[in-house]
Amino acid sequence: MPWSLALRFSMSVLTPESTEPRDLTEVVEWEGPSPCPGASALQLELEALVPAGARIPAGLHIRGRVTGSDGDWSLALGVTSPSGTQTRVFRYDDCAELVTTAAVVAA
């Protein structure tokens, strides 16, 4: 399922006193086998989706775990935010699509 990535993202500079994460590397945790894209791919997709000037909310944590093999990939995605935690499971034939899906859901 292809997703159109039309928006650009730029994180604003945060003050040292801020309790917000400085960038997406502080909030993304990603596990998966080597044939699948890694955490950096998810971060790039998120950067393309989030509006310019958006701040990362304090308490945001995105955790993805990819399992499976060619043609049968599964993603367990947990997104924790100030409003709570949501967990969903997605299945695709192509593990690269799991990264795109995770970005769209998390954004």
Token pair listed for 80: 């924790």
- Quick one: pLDDT at residue 24? 75
pTM score over 0.85: no
Per-residue CA distances from 8 to 43, 50, 64, 87 (Å): 12, 7, 23, 26
What gap in Å lies between CA 92 and CA 11, rounded to an integer?
A: 30
- Quick one: pLDDT at residue 5? 26
- Quick one: pLDDT at residue 65? 96
Residues in the chain, pLDDT under 50: 1-18
Domains of the chain: 37-106 (3.30.160)
- Quick one: pLDDT at residue 90? 95
Question: Of 31, 47, 22, nearest to 95 (Cα)?
Answer: 31
What are 29's strand-pairing partners?
A: 63
- Quick one: pLDDT at residue 82? 84
